[in-house]
Amino acid sequence: MTTRFAVLRLAGVTLILGCLVALSLEPAVTAQDKSPGGQPLPGTKQSVADLEEQVAYHRAFEAVVWAMPASAMQRFRQGVLALPGVEDNVILAYSDTLRTKHKAITANTATPYIAAVTDLRKGPVVLEVPAVSEKASLYGQVVNAWEATIAGVGPVGADKGKGGKYLLIPPGYKEKIPDGYFPIRSSTYRIVLVFRSIPAKGATAADAYAYTKTLKMYPLAESANPKPTKFVDGLPIPVYTLPYYDIRALQDIHDIISVEPVDARDKVMIGMLATIGIEKGKPFNPSPKMKAAMERGVVDAYHYIQKLTRDLHEKNLWWPDRKWAFVMVPDEKRGFEFVNDRAVEVDKRAACWFFYTFYPAVLDETAGTVYLAPIADTDGKPLEAGSLYRIRVPKDTPAKQFWSITVYDNANWGFIENPQDRSGLGTFDKDKMKVNDDGSVDIYVGPKAPEGLESNWIPTMDKKPYIWLRLYGPDEPFWKKTWKMPDVELVK
């Protein structure tokens, strides 16, 4: 018996060990596996006390990300309409380049701007564009309420630089289009146009301004006898067109969806917005508690999109051995709507439109302008507030029309106000700057100018700088990357 028992014990041990081995190969059984479904797992509970407040936070956050291009245009439109004498179909024409008091997302300081807004709920609007002259030409876009380009003008537009009449047509317009127009159909009612009047070689800003005054804009209903187009010079007047990042961001979104047609791509978001009081035909008036929750969401969305934008720049270096990012990053169709057969890429869209306005309809090697921004200095360190940097622009910089360096506040993408009222330097300033013996130009960016080089200095005050190199008319060496821009150097 003893022997048999030992054998049995041995067999039993063997059997037990075999069972243990078999068990070790089976996946662990968890509470989740045993759950019958239909409710959360045992032991879990609601994570916040007030779910309504939580929903308000999250939907405000997502609304800001989703609406980025439209919010920027809504704020641009309202900023322009706030200027004395400006209304629909009035042309805001700057008699000279912008000053630091003119707040707009990454605007340029090299050429005078032209802007106008219109509302097609009142019917089609005619825009008469002059032909290219010996003194100037137009460059720019007409965009809809979502900032999608619906027309270019001048040499890159339908008129091919010969001038002509563009007809801006509202959604659902059924009447016959008269002959003699370039018909431009819009999917939204409210339209914004921004052009640059580019002086020809040897011409002046005054020449470009006079050329601007040959534009015409009026309702089609008045085309038989249009009233003279009204112009307002925006140069003496501060303008504020930067987006808001408080409850006003959601008020702007409410205004947008209250006026514009709803695209199929946006119906889910429109439904979600209605649950927090952002709904067509109803006032937006959240309670103090809900307003506070929404504003937290808006602020967090701002910081989230800041990160998306940094990532966008870091992933798109123009030269692998340099730290200059190509900032225009299109979607898979080479455009900037970020809508494809699978998805609306709201994060990518927000990142691209956060720091930039008025993209071309399609980006290719015929692009009239290109923009690069440094993500770091020569040592790979991000640019910081309080430091002085040198940017060396080579003599052979490949820009047929002009190049410029412009500096913005990294926090809001607008000009930095300073006693010198200077935000940029470039081709048109070379006669005032000190030029190196090899023909290159050193531009200094920082809180204080190097001694004797004030004319080559762009002040940053106490702000973190965001820098753009603009090339108008980029030439072949740029596209083939046979020309390279030196990295930004930390001076001190």
CATH, residue 175: 2.60.40.1610
Could you tell me if 328 and 196 lie in one domain? no
Residue that terminates a domain, selected from 217, 236, 255: 236
Q: Give burial (CB, 10 Å; 0-12/13-18/19+) of 185.
A: middle
Assigned domain for 71 exists: no
CA 89/CA 132 separation, integer angstroms: 22
Mention every residue, 6+ apart, whose C-beta is less than 8 A from residue 315.
none
CA 68/CA 355 separation, integer angstroms: 10
CA 362/CA 471 separation, integer angstroms: 17
Name the amino acid, one letter, at 312.
Answer: L
Q: Give burial (CB, 10 Å; 0-12/13-18/19+) of 108.
A: buried
Could you tell me if 315 and 169 lie in one domain? no
CA 94/CA 114 separation, integer angstroms: 6
Could you tell me if 98 and 188 lie in one domain? yes
Q: Among 106, 475, 487, which Cα is nearest to 319's?
A: 487
CA 106/CA 355 separation, integer angstroms: 7
Residues in the chain, how many? Answer: 492
pLDDT class for 440, splitting at 50, 70, 90?
very high
Assigned domain for 229 exists: yes
Could you tell me if 164 and 313 lie in one domain? no
Give residue-wise pLDDT tens across range 348-394.
999 999 999 999 888 887 777 899 999 999 999 999 999 999 999 99
Identify whether the C-beta of residue 106 lies closer than 8 Å to the C-beta of residue 216: no
Q: What is the pLDDT of residue 17?
A: 40
Could you tell me if 328 and 463 lie in one domain? yes
Identify whether the C-beta of residue 157 lies closer than 8 Å to the C-beta of residue 151: yes
Could you tell me if 308 and 227 lie in one domain? no
Q: Is the pLDDT at 22 greater than 70, yes or no?
A: no
Q: Among 252, 254, 305, which Cα is nearest to 280's?
A: 254
- Count of beta carbons in the 10 Å neighbourhood of residue 33: 8
CA 22 to chain centre: 60
Give residue-wise pLDDT tens across range 148-163.
999 999 998 999 999 9
> Which range, 23-37, 204-218, 354-368, has the best average confidence (pLDDT)?
204-218
| Number of domains, the chain | 2
Residue that terminates a domain, selected from 236, 263, 294: 236
Assigned domain for 344 exists: yes
Assigned domain for 351 exists: yes
> What phi-psi label fits residue 334: left (phi over 0), alpha (psi between -120 and 50 degrees) or beta?
left
Token reading at 162: 């010969």
Assigned domain for 69 exists: no
Give residue-wise pLDDT tens across range 94-148.
999 999 999 999 999 988 899 999 999 999 999 999 999 999 999 889 999 999 9
- 372: phi then psi, degrees, rounded to nearest 5: -130, 145
Could you tell me if 455 and 357 lie in one domain? yes
Assigned domain for 43 exists: no
The whole-number average pLDDT for the span 248-274 is 97
Assigned domain for 411 exists: yes
Could you tell me if 365 and 481 lie in one domain? yes
Could you tell me if 230 and 334 lie in one domain? no
- Count of beta carbons in the 10 Å neighbourhood of residue 222: 13
CATH, residue 474: 2.60.120.600
Q: Is the pLDDT at 442 greater than 80, yes or no?
A: yes
Could you tell me if 208 and 322 lie in one domain? no
pLDDT class for 89, splitting at 50, 70, 90?
very high
Assigned domain for 10 exists: no
Could you tell me if 197 and 343 lie in one domain? no
Residue that terminates a domain, selected from 236, 253, 277: 236
Mention every residue, 6+ apart, whose C-beta is less than 8 A from residue 24.
none
CA 303/CA 350 separation, integer angstroms: 12
CA 119/CA 98 separation, integer angstroms: 26
CA 417/CA 217 separation, integer angstroms: 33
Domain hosting residue 203, numbered range: 84-236
Could you tell me if 353 and 478 lie in one domain? yes
